[in-house]
Amino acid sequence: MTFQSNIRRASSYKSIQKNSNVLSANPYDLVAVLFAELRDSLDLMIESARRNDKGRMFECRAKALSILNGLDESLDFDAAGDLAQTLHTIYVEAARRIQAEIDVSFIERVESAREMLHEIEKAWMAIAPGAQQVDSLRRAS
């Protein structure tokens, strides 16, 4: 067996483990992982903007917007009512700030979006029954 085939096999096992962890996770943990990934993407986006690395910045922006979209689409307006509507409004505003034109106040707008979303993340972590599993789920991905 070659070195390359060993690498492929290890990668395959890791992928299976990751999928297994995600499939067995509860919805609270999955949303917590999304918030953590969103925060990381926004941090990298801000860092990339400061370094004027537009390619990386746009990549992080796309990931952040994708996660925001997923969080927004998962809202249950029938079950959560006003709370779901409030979260929707915050997600839309955060997306607007993240997509803003790149000018002198761009970083400040993204930082303000990150802070808004971080407040929601902290509240989510306070109610998530298995919040301690989030780090292991993130490492598996």
In a domain, 133, yes or no: no
In a domain, 21, yes or no: no
In a domain, 104, yes or no: yes
pTM of the model: 0.75
Note the pLDDT tens digit of each residue in 68-120.
999 999 999 999 899 999 999 999 999 999 998 888 889 999 999 999 999 99
Structure tokens at 18: 């990751």
**Phi, psi torsion values for 73, nearest 5 degrees:** -65, -20
Note the pLDDT tens digit of each residue in 35-64.
999 999 999 999 999 999 999 999 999 999
In a domain, 138, yes or no: no
**Domains in the chain: how many in total?**
1
The tally of CA atoms less than 13 A away on the side-chain side of residue 8 is 5
In a domain, 134, yes or no: no
In a domain, 10, yes or no: no
In a domain, 5, yes or no: no
| Residue range of the domain that includes 32 | 26-125
